[in-house]
Each structure stands twice: as C-alpha cells, then as structure tokens.
Structure 1
Amino acid sequence: MASVRSALIIGGGVAGPVAALALRKAGIEATVCEAYPNPADGIGGALAIAPNGLAALDVVGARDAATDTALPIPRSALSFGGRLVELPRLADLPPMQIVHRADLHRALHETAAGQGIEIQHNKRLVTAEEDATGVTARFTDGSTVTADVLIGADGIHSTVRTLVDPDAPGPGYTGMLGFESVIDRRVAGEPGTMFFTFGKRAYYLYWPLPDGRTHWGANLPQDKPMSLTEARAVPTEEWLRRLHDAYGEDDPGGSLVRHIDPERLHVTGSLHIMPSVPHWHRGRLVLVGDAVHAPSNSSGQGASLAIESAVEVARCLRDLPDPQSAFAAYEARRRPRVEGIAARAGKINQAKAPGRLAKALLPVMMRVLLKTAMKPEKTFGAEQRYRMDWNEPATLVSA
C-alpha cells in the first residue's frame, strides 16, 4: 500500500490543479500553493488542448469545465510561398480545442475548489526542507506548509527544479517573441480552421472566429531574449512598427497587422523550451508540466503533456509503496514520450526562425514539412491517440 497520504503542489496554472484533482481521486489529500493573487493574474494568450489532453482531463472530470469557453479547431491549413494546402487530420479523434489561458486556469481552479481542494494564493516558494517523515515548504510571507511529498508544477522558471537539482538547466530561448491579438477584421476561411503561415520574413498563424473577427498570433524572430517585463515595457507603437516590417508584405498578415487595435495587442515575451532535465525528482520532491518538460509551441502539445503528467504522477503515488519508487516509475513512463514530442517540434522551429543557412534551404524544408504533415497518422498519430488507463495499477519500469 502506498505510504503517501498528503501532497503539496507548488503552482496553480494547468498542471497544478489537475494534479490535485488526480491525487484526490487517488485518495491523497492535496493542497495547491500559487504565487499569484488569483488564477488570471499576469496570464494571457491562447493555448491548445489536443485530443490526448482532453482524454486526460476526462480522467479527473475536468474536460467540460476546461473546454466550456474553448473554440474547436477541426481543420488546419499550411500556407507558404503563395500555396495554401489543407492538412488532413485524424478524423476519428475530437478536434483540438483553443482556450484562453486565463479561462482555463480559472476553470481548473473552480473545479478543484468544488471538490474541496484547498488553493492558497500569494504563496511564492522560497525553499523546501525534507526529513524522514515529510517535506516543509517555506514561502516569502514567512508561512510554511508540510506534506508527505512536494510536487513542482511551477512552470518553466521553476523554483522547485533548482531544489531538485541546483545544476539543472534553465529554459532555452527559441529565438522568437510571441504576440497575439483579436482583430476586428474578417479573413477568408471557415471558422474552425487554423492557418499556419510562413510569411516572407516570419511565421504567423490565425484562425477566423464565428463572430467575424480573427484571432492572430506571431512568432517574431529576435536574437536577444526578453523577459515578459522587458517586452511589455516596449511601447506598443514600436511593436506594431516591427510587426508591420515583418508581416506587411504578407497576405493576409499585412492587413491583419494594420488593423490591430493597440489596446488589444498582447505581448507574451520570449518563447522558451525546456532542454532535457537530468533529474526529475529527488527525495520527496518531483517535477511535472512545464517545470520539467516544455516543448516549443510548435508541438501543440505543451498543455496536454502537462495534464497527462499531472495525472500520471498521481497514479504512481497511488500504487507504489514510497515516493522514490513512485517518482522513478513516473519518470520512466513520461520521459520518452515528452522528449520525443519535443524533438519533433524542434524541427519545425528551424523553419519558423531560420538562420542564414536555413533560409537558403527553406524551400526544401517546407517541402519536407508538408510531406510529413500530409501523413498525420505517422507524424502525430501516437501523440494524439495516447490514453492512460487510470484503473491499471502502476508498476515499476525496468531500466
């Protein structure tokens, strides 16, 4: 029988509340500690939930709440060099869902709170101390919380990751800055279609909305990374000028950029990925979600993988006799999957932010990308069809 009866979760974004729901289902009491004052503070932009992420949300009973405000995307198309190619999809799976990050956070918090899970706000972790019976977390407000285990779901700039391993790598910069806006401009295309567009100078994507507006996002190449604070300190007019320089010659990119309401330009700052993290756990501490595996946004799987891992760590804690064996089993199950998806997405990033040599090879790269995209079963069938069996007991995985 498992020895873990309580868990402290650091981070209340996506993975944190899902882990708490899964732990509660496993019979383990969970408390979530979130640094921000409320679920939407400092959060913005849209994210995708893939079919496998929807399946994992089903396990904890959060799918309907998480997708209540989402937009299904049953179709997609790739545009480059004047060509527009509709991409096939795995027709027997539900469509990807696009949801505003703040809406998703709020829905997951409300679902967790509705099941009696305690969520504490304004709790920014400083350190954690272990002994033979548990782990005590200390916060900037001077308070402490003690539990049997501590789960780090505190994002790509994770504090828990440095406690697990002071020498752990930090997030890597993709060479791109992120921007989004909802634009009062109708474009050609049926609502529910996402267009992945490789423009003359930079990549962007957009999808028509049912109300006639367009949701637009850009991955603007830039050599130097910028923190969110730095990026938002730049005057909006300067960003609009740079976006016009990058996309002004594209169709419909140029028209969309010219019609951005400055008040609606959302700056997300540098886009990051997590390189391979050598140590996912130590003692009574373990990492989930972006804190340990954050593929680039090219994967379309960041949130879904975080949701899966949050459920898997709870299953392992439910079935294995001690934290060390549970965390080892969790890592063995998750690492090959998340690192394989990250590798696939990394190849796409080379086309989104090409260097000098890659620019010369871009036509070849695009043909390869298109060829793989036209074979969805081979390219991402295993990713999207993945389902974990909650009722199957977790066991140790041989090295």
Structure 2
Amino acid sequence: MTTALIIGGGIAGAVTAIALHKAGIGATVYEAYATPADEIGAFLTVGTNGIDALQAVDLDRSVAAAGVPARWLQVFDAAGEQVGQAPITGSERPDLGPRTFKRAALYRVLQDELAARDLPVQRGKRLVDGTATTAGVTATFRRRQQCWGRRAHRRGRCAFGHPAAHRPGRARAALHRPTHCLWIHRQNTGRSAS
C-alpha cells in the first residue's frame, strides 16, 4: 500500500489526508506544533469551486455548516469607506455556495473529520530535512526532547508539504521536488512560496 507523509496539519494538510484516504492511500499528517491551532487565524472565504472540490471528498456539507453564505465581495479604502462591491459567483446556491469562515471553525471541522476517519496526526514534528529517491521519500523531524541533536525519520512513497518548508533559512523537504511528490501551497497569505 502506498503511504503518504503530509507535512503540515492545517487546512490544506487535513483536506489532503482525507482526499488520499478516500483514494485508498494511507497518510499520516505531521504537524510542527505540539497543540492544535484551534484559535489561530482570522477569516477566509471558500468559493463555489472550493466547495465543489470538498464535495468530491465528502466534506462539503460538514464544512458548509461551519460557515456563513458569502454573497458579496466588498472593497474598503484605508479610511474604512466602502469603495466598491460585486456579487460572488455561485452565491445563488444558498445550500452549497461560497462560504465565509472563521479559520478556527474550518480548522476544527477538518480536525474532527480526520479523527472520525481514524487518520493519524503526529504533533510536535518539526521538519528539519527531507530526501527523495526513486524508492520514496524520507522526512526528518526534530524530536522535542532535551537533546536537540536527535532526529526522528519517517519513510513514505510520497510527501505533501507546506510552503514553509521552502522558505529561505528553513529545511527544504525533497530538495529537488521529484515527480512523485506533490506540494500544496497556501493560497491566501499574501506571500508566494518558492
């Protein structure tokens, strides 16, 4: 059986694990932080295409219930005055149209879905290195112990990673990005991952 290592246990990591599980691929999520990120983040909107993608992995109803319908995009200037607005495409679908979420609410729903599907999440696993060969990938994590030099290694056939693994000064997982690895990039941070 193919095993996937998912680096990062946020929204993208959780959805990736659930999608792989549905496809019959075993996955373990490795999250750097020791505790869940239940109250981190502000708001985000998932468009109709995002809700449709979640429907493909049976998450559309549970995720939609955690948000509120998003019907308009409003633009404000620095003084807080509204300078424009436009309807959001797909907002005519009140049941499964675009939704606005508190990031924490969306995160909680997805973490509950991981638990309901018995998908393992290993917390406190900060990625420090990664290598890829034709046989698979090896991710190296820093152990949270008094001895900083110790490392834990995990092997899998493919890896799914968070863009933080590619930022300057950070460990680069699977440095050469082999063809059997897929990298998930955060879409709405205002930064691009290299």
State TM-score, norm by structure 1. Answer: 0.39
1:49 aligned partner: 46
- 1:65 maps onto 2:62 in alignment: yes
Structure 2: distance between partners of 1:163 and 1:285 = 10
Alignment partner, residue 173 of structure 2 = 163
Residues 29 and 79 of structure 1: CA distance in aligned 2, closer, same or farther (over 3 Å): closer
Listed as ranges, the gaps of 5+ residues in structure 1 are 167-280, 303-399
Deviation at 1:133, TM superposition (A): 2.3
SS in 2 for 1:66: helix
Cα distance in structure 2, aligned partners of 1:50 and 1:126:
34
Matched, 1:20 2:29: no
Q: Which has the higher helix share?
A: 1
Aligned counterparts of 1:63 and 1:144: Cα–Cα separation in 2: 35
Maintained 8 Å contact 1:45/1:100: yes
Query: Does the CA-based 8 Å contact 2:38-2:107 persist in structure 1?
Result: no
Aligned residues: 176
Please tell me whether the aligned partners of residues 5 and 158 of structure 2 are also in contact (alpha carbons under 8 angstroms). yes
Q: Is the 8 A contact 2:74 2:82 kept in 1?
A: no
**Paired amino acid for 1:282:** P
Q: Could you report, residue by residue, the CA deviation over 1:137-156 in whole angstroms, capped at 9, with x for unpaired residues?
A: 1110022211111111x24x
Letter in 1 for 2:102: H
Contact 1:39/1:102, CA 8 A, preserved across alignment: no
Cα drift, residue 86 of structure 1:
4.8
Deviation, 1:30, is 0.7
Q: Do 2:141 and 2:152's aligned partners in 1 also have CA atoms closer than 8 Å?
A: yes
Q: Could you tell me how far apart the structure 2 residues matched to 1:144 and 1:5 are?
A: 17
| Matched ranges for 1:1-399 at <5 A | 5-40=2-37, 43-78=40-75, 86-90=85-89, 92-93=92-93, 94-141=96-143, 142-152=151-161, 154-155=162-163, 157-159=164-166, 162-165=172-175, 281-290=177-186, 294=187
Q: Work out whether residues 135 and 284 of structure 1, in 8 Å CA contact, stay in contact via their aligned partners in 2.
A: no
TM-score (norm 2): 0.76
What percentage of residue pairs aligned between the two structures are identical? Answer: 30
In the TM superposition, what is the alpha-carbon distance from 1:18 to its structure 2 partner?
Answer: 0.8
> In the alignment, what sits opposite 1:244?
none
* CA RMSD, 1 decimal: 2.9
> What displacement does 1:159 show?
4.3
Contact map agreement 1:16 1:32 (CA 8 A) in 2 = yes
Any conservation in 2 of the 1:125–1:159 contact (CA below 8 Å)?
no
Change (3 A) 1:102 1:33: same
Query: 1:346 — aligned with what?
Result: none
Structure 2 distance, partners of 1:88, 1:99, is 18
Deviation (angstroms), 1:48 = 1.1
CA distance in 1, matches of 2:156, 2:127: 14
What code does the residue aligned with 2:152 have? S
Q: Is the 8 A contact 2:69 2:98 kept in 1?
A: yes
CA distance change for structure 1 residues 74 and 147 in 2, over 3 Å: closer, same or farther? Answer: same
> How far off its partner does 1:50 sit?
1.0
Give the strand-richer structure, 1 or 2: 2
Supply the distance in 1 between the matched residues of 2:75 and 2:122 (Cα, whole angstroms): 43
Higher gyration radius (CA): 1
Q: Secondary structure at the match of 1:151?
A: strand
The Cα shift of 1:40 comes to: 1.3
SS state at 1:44 partner: coil
Change in 2 beyond 3 A, CA 1:86/1:150: closer
